[in-house]
Structure 1
């Protein structure tokens, strides 16, 4: 998996997820959160963690209007047209899913712990959680 930064869209999975949202809308967000929270998943793989963080970033952008972390033009257009009231019910699910990404049974914290950017990644995930508060 190719990483080029700590943000949710600064990896191959997150970048590809932008296209999923443009194509499938809110369904893509809900699906990413559902996969992360699936009780039958004993260990959350990095790919699913990246998708969860990207979905949470999109939701936060819709709810707060803050799109600085969104670099894909088509995704920015989708966010601009999205109805925050319709997506509001996903807020708590998103927070739970991001919490799962940070949990001991998730691959991403281990991967970032081995990186010199690990603290920056954790700070960015905390920023995301705060935005979803």
Structure 2
């Protein structure tokens, strides 16, 4: 697992996803959530899980205005122009996607299970769930 921290952008997939959002806007968020929630997918691979968490982080920042965990300057600039009302329709999808990432048919919890920071990672993902309520 190419992870260098517990944060949503502290892995290669999350960092690359920030660029997708800058380029494609809220469409990238919706797409990441749709992939994570695909009813035909029996298992959520780590890459899709990372994308869903990064999308949830962007959504939470856009809805709350708290961009502290957004590390990419281009993404911060995009968020400064985003309107929470435009992002609000994605709230339920984002929450459901994060719940799927934490679920039994998801690779990320298994990958984190043997890591020293597993409890910290789960708490951080739990923070996202709270922010999207």
Same fold (TM over 0.5): yes
List structure 1 runs of 4+ shifted beyond 6 angstroms.
none
The alpha carbon displacement at 1:118 in A equals 0.3
Partner of 1:67: 67
Partner of 2:25: 25
CA RMSD in angstroms comes to: 0.5
Instruction: State the TM-score, normalizing by the size of structure 2.
Output: 0.99
Distance 2:49 2:2 in 1: 14
Q: Gapped runs of 5+ residues in structure 2?
A: none
Distance 2:126 2:37 in 1: 18
Query: C-alpha offsets along residues 15-71 of structure 1, whole Å, 9 cap, x if unaligned?
Result: 000000000000000000000000001000000000000000000000000011001
Asked if residue 37 in structure 1 is aligned to residue 37 in structure 2, the reply is: yes
Distance 1:79 1:114 in 2: 34
Partner of 2:56: 56
Partner of 2:16: 16
Distance 1:70 1:87 in 2: 16
Residue correspondences, number: 133
Instruction: State the TM-score, normalizing by the size of structure 1.
Output: 0.99
